[in-house]
Amino acid sequence: MSTMPSAREIFLRLQNKRLKNALTLLRSREFISFFTKSFSFALKILFKKQVALPYEQWRKNWVELDQKDRDYIASKISQIKSSQTFAFFMNVESSSKDLIEESIESLNSQLYSNWHLCLCVNAENRKLAKSILKNTDNRVSIFEPSQQMSKDWSSRITPGDLLHEAALSSIVLSLEKSPQAEIIYTDNDHLNKNGKFIDPHMKPDWNSELLQGMNYLTSLTIFKKNLWEEHFLHASNHKLAISASSQLKSDQILHLPFILSTIRVQDDKKHLDLPFTDVNYKLYDPEPLVSVLIPTRDKGRMLKKCITSLLEKTSYRNFEVIIIDHESKEKKAQKFIKSFNKNPKFQITEFKGDFNFSAMINKAVEISSGDILVLLNNDIEIIDSTWMTKLVSQISRINIGVVGAMLLFPDMTIQHAGVHPGMEGFMGHGHKHLPSSSGGYFNRLKVPHEVAAVTGACMAVKKKTFVELGGLDETSLPVAYNDIDFCFKARDKNLKIILDPNIRLLHHESASRGMDLGKKKKYRLRKELSIMQDRWGSLLEIDPAYSLNLINDGQSFTLADTPRVNTNGIFAHKINSNETT
């Protein structure tokens, strides 16, 4: 176990990661905010759990089986009503005999034995395949082009990949409860050169947007017979998955959140960076008008930086700006806002009374002319000229509810890359404080993907959708959680929330409103959280971008000591046993 960090180490971390933020706060004279942020950061370092459960131990607890587990699975299999058959196809070209035989051995060890392996060969390696057949039973054969495989399910398997002994049992039992499934995929880990199991890939449930950019399904993805026959000619597994899933409903694609396969890897960690492809969508012609909504109060210098960067660094030109001025008294802010009174690209509207972000945005929407709305904090700085083009091309698609951007701290580390529900409804920002160059968990920050919610600091939505969903809740959620609540309203109507990490902006976080420090503000925050819990209940724990095998802290992508998977599933006996010991 690592030792507690020293005071000097804490100071250095504060110095390196928070210096620029600190200077900004000091310049703005928010000394209390600076002290609170720094002290809070130090406490987190001192008191957070020092070492996560090693994967070796985690695997022993939740993946490896003993005889009692095998007996339990056998009893469940004996009760199933219908039999399922599986065909696996392995390309043996340029593969060693040892790797092929190890994969075959993992099939032989299956607790459910109704499978067949087809070795796909050419003239050069047919001899190798025949030598392998001498040590196998009739469930392994050389695949001939004219051969018909009348199996219920089919999949590709790479030489050297290993299936967990309960892999097929898990699939068969899951089909008893989800007979509508036509594609099934599982979690996997990796095996290094030293024979050590490492780096589990805990995948999210079905995330079609993520699949467009990368084949996150990877090992042990099986397809129903009709889909396989129609799509298996695709050269890559990625294209196969995209093509086969394109016409399916989400409940026809089943994710089993168990480590049911293992991929053999080198020791260079390249397997943590899944290959990806750029995903771009065309703009409509003519380009729609965008209404950029900027609530503000005082902070003239910051507002000027925001709007100046918006005007100078945005290549998309068909937009208007609506400034919602909340009783600005600072002369610099007043002067800057008034400078746009005669600019046809701008509208200025005043808002009076207590701070109410929801009401400010709703008021701006009423006078907006655009088909697309972009909510933008006054502490945002534009650094990418294509940001609005990408937002518009994403939000203009069918079934897209909200699109958000990756927001960066001034030190170019990540502040926001999607919101993930945590314990008791608290929301966390995934990948927070990682370098902006990081690919994130298994490289997902390279491609747009569906998330639970995005922050209202930069949020795009169709005006029609905003109105149909009733706008932001200005009565119950005037300050916090209104953006999350809106995202959940969109999800409730089967609209997707997209995080596009290729849209990158600087965020000088909460500089206008400050931090929630006082008793009054803390009470309001607790009240708003309670409203979210009552309103959305279990949906607060459903995340299209986060696995139930990961800790429920809303951000860290760290293994949970105890998985949150359904304990009625294939490993129910194991999970229940471990929880009571």
How do residues 6-38 score in pLDDT, each as one tens digit? 434 433 443 444 444 444 433 443 433 333 343
| C-alpha distance from residue 433 to each of 4, 8, 63, 92, 413 (Å) | 20, 20, 31, 44, 5
Do 207 and 263 fall within a single domain?
Answer: yes
pLDDT for 53 equals: 85
Pairwise CA distance, residues 38 & 33, whole Å: 9
Residue 78 CA to its chain's centroid (Å): 37
pLDDT digits (tens, 9 = 90+) for 277-304: 999 999 988 999 999 999 999 999 999 9
Do 198 and 344 fall within a single domain?
Answer: no
pLDDT digits (tens, 9 = 90+) for 91-117: 987 778 999 999 999 999 999 999 999
For residue 20, give its domain range.
Answer: 7-47
Indicate whether 279 belongs to any domain. Answer: no
Structure tokens at 173: 């039992």
Beta carbons within 8 Å of 302's beta carbon, 6+ residues apart: 378, 379, 508, 511, 512
Do 254 and 357 fall within a single domain?
Answer: no
Report the sign of the C-alpha dihedral through residues 288, 212, 173, 150, in that order.
Answer: positive
pLDDT digits (tens, 9 = 90+) for 202-232: 999 999 999 999 999 999 999 999 999 999 8
Q: Region 314-325: what's the mean pLDDT?
A: 97
DSSP three-state, residue 354: coil
Q: Region 316-330: what's the mean pLDDT?
A: 97
The CA angle 181-185-189, to the nearest 5 degrees, is 160
Do 460 and 349 fall within a single domain?
Answer: yes
Do 34 and 83 fall within a single domain?
Answer: no
Least-confidence region, from 83-87, 182-186, 392-396, 422-426: 422-426
My answer on whether omega of the bond before 421 falls inside 30° of 0, hence cis, is: no
pLDDT for 552 equals: 82
pLDDT for 517 equals: 55
Indicate whether 190 belongs to any domain. Answer: yes
pLDDT digits (tens, 9 = 90+) for 428-456: 888 999 999 999 999 999 999 999 999 99
pLDDT for 554 equals: 64
Alpha-helical regions (H) of 7-66: 7-27, 31-47, 55-62
Confidence of residue 52 (pLDDT cuts 50, 70, 90): confident
Do 81 and 174 fall within a single domain?
Answer: yes
Pairing state between β 140-142 and 115-120: parallel
Structure tokens at 227: 């889909």
362's enclosing H/E stretch is: helix 357-367
Indicate whether 551 belongs to any domain. Answer: no
pLDDT for 48 equals: 43
Confidence of residue 581 (pLDDT cuts 50, 70, 90): very low
Do 404 and 493 fall within a single domain?
Answer: yes
Q: Region 179-196: what's the mean pLDDT?
A: 96
Least-confidence region, from 42-56, 232-246, 324-338, 469-483: 42-56
Indicate whether 528 belongs to any domain. Answer: yes
pLDDT for 51 equals: 56
Do 34 and 84 fall within a single domain?
Answer: no
Indicate whether 67 belongs to any domain. Answer: no
pLDDT for 566 equals: 56
| C-alpha distance from residue 480 to each of 362, 409, 432, 452, 530 (Å) | 15, 20, 19, 16, 12
- What is the pLDDT of the chain when averaged over all its residues? 87
pLDDT for 545 equals: 92
Indicate whether 62 belongs to any domain. Answer: no
What total number of domains does the chain contain? 3
Least-confidence region, from 67-71, 173-177, 232-236, 491-495: 232-236
Do 532 and 482 fall within a single domain?
Answer: yes
The CA angle 512-298-335, to the nearest 5 degrees, is 150
For residue 232, with 0-12 CB atoms within 10 Å meaning exposed, 13-18 middle and 19 or more buried, which class applies?
middle
Do 365 and 244 fall within a single domain?
Answer: no
Above 80 in pLDDT, residue 572?
Answer: no
Could you tell me the CATH number of the domain that includes residue 458? 3.90.550.10
pLDDT digits (tens, 9 = 90+) for 129-177: 999 999 899 999 999 877 777 799 999 999 999 999 999 999 999 999 9
Confidence of residue 424 (pLDDT cuts 50, 70, 90): low
DSSP annotation of 353: S
Alpha-helical regions (H) of 122-266: 126-133, 167-177, 208-213, 225-231, 237-245
**Residue 421 bridge partners (DSSP):** 427
pLDDT for 40 equals: 41
The CA angle 380-512-520, to the nearest 5 degrees, is 135
DSSP annotation of 506: E
Confidence of residue 422 (pLDDT cuts 50, 70, 90): confident
Above 80 in pLDDT, residue 4?
Answer: no
Do 420 and 451 fall within a single domain?
Answer: yes
Above 90 in pLDDT, residue 276?
Answer: yes
Amino acid, single-letter form, for residue 140: V
Q: Which residue would you say has higher pLDDT here, 427 or 480?
A: 480
Do 268 and 305 fall within a single domain?
Answer: no
Pairwise CA distance, residues 131 & 134, whole Å: 6
Confidence of residue 267 (pLDDT cuts 50, 70, 90): confident
Confidence of residue 369 (pLDDT cuts 50, 70, 90): very high
State the number of CA atoms in the 13 A half-sphere of 161 facing the CB: 22
Q: Which of 278, 273, 270, 378 is nearest to 322 (CA)?
A: 378
Confidence of residue 524 (pLDDT cuts 50, 70, 90): confident
Q: Region 554-581: what's the mean pLDDT?
A: 65
Indicate whether 457 belongs to any domain. Answer: yes
Tell which of 245, 272, 299 closes a domain.
272
pLDDT for 166 equals: 96
In DSSP notation, 260-305 reads EEEEE--SSSGGGS--------PPPSSPPPEEEEEEE-S-HHHHHH
Q: Region 500-521: what's the mean pLDDT?
A: 73
**pTM of the entire predicted model:** 0.87
Above 80 in pLDDT, residue 312?
Answer: yes
Q: Which of 495, 321, 329 is nearest to 399 (CA)?
A: 495
**Residue 420 bridge partners (DSSP):** 428
Q: Which residue would you say has higher pLDDT here, 188 or 2?
A: 188
Confidence of residue 570 (pLDDT cuts 50, 70, 90): low
DSSP annotation of 250: G
Indicate whether 311 belongs to any domain. Answer: yes
The CA angle 319-323-325, to the nearest 5 degrees, is 175
Q: Which of 566, 457, 461, 551 is nearest to 506 (CA)?
A: 457
pLDDT digits (tens, 9 = 90+) for 113-133: 999 999 999 888 899 999 999
